[in-house]
Amino acid sequence: MQNICLGDQPSFNELYRRYKNRLFYYFYRMLGSCEELSNDFLQDLFFKIIDKPEMYNPSYPFKKWIFSVAHNMCKNEYRKREVRKVMLQEENPDRYNDEHIVPKDSAKVISLAFEAIDQLKPKSKEILLLKYRENFSLKEIAEILELNEGTIKSRLHYARIELSKALSKHKINNKLA
């Protein structure tokens, strides 16, 4: 980020390469599985970095900072919407995660799990994505969402219960709650 502040284009390109897929996936899940809207948010986020790189505080871990910005963008989008409807689309579970290979026999289960996650309340969906997709600690999630750690524990507990109920409709054996 310090190099980006100095106008170093290769540094920005590297930052974009490292985070574009993860942030796209985050926006995709948080904004109703809409590719176009997710791409728009991703572009807006990186424009913010280009436009005001000095907003980043180097004493704050970059990953937490960029996900905090993404979280605030989603929160602002929710405020703009009077009624938020989740659009369900068929999805290839490998599509946005090139780091893991999913066995073919589990693709149906993963597809149903993504469908269940898409049906959750935004707060539940967000906490599950930050915890299990991005592997943030409870403390880091609390910092990103600007909440206390106890609230995060409570939300995670209820999000697991909500997801378990959604998955039970598909008769998926799970041990989330």
Buried b (16+ CB within 10 A) or exposed e, 144-165: bbeeeeeebeebbeebbebbee
pTM for the whole structure: 0.60
Distance from C-alpha of 92 to C-alpha of 107, rounded to nearest angstrom = 8
Q: Is the dihedral of CA 125, 127, 128, 134 positive or negative?
A: positive
Query: Along the 177 residues of the chain, how does pLDDT read in single tens digits?
Result: 778 877 788 888 999 999 999 999 999 999 888 899 999 999 999 998 888 888 888 888 889 999 999 999 988 887 776 433 333 333 444 444 444 444 454 567 667 777 788 888 888 888 988 988 888 899 999 999 999 999 999 989 888 888 888 877 766 544 444
Distance from C-alpha of 24 to C-alpha of 116, rounded to nearest angstrom = 19
Quick one: tokens of 160? 């697991």
Contacts for 54 with CB less than 8 Å, ≥ 6 apart = 5
Buried b (16+ CB within 10 A) or exposed e, 13-32: eebeeebeebbbbbbbbbbb
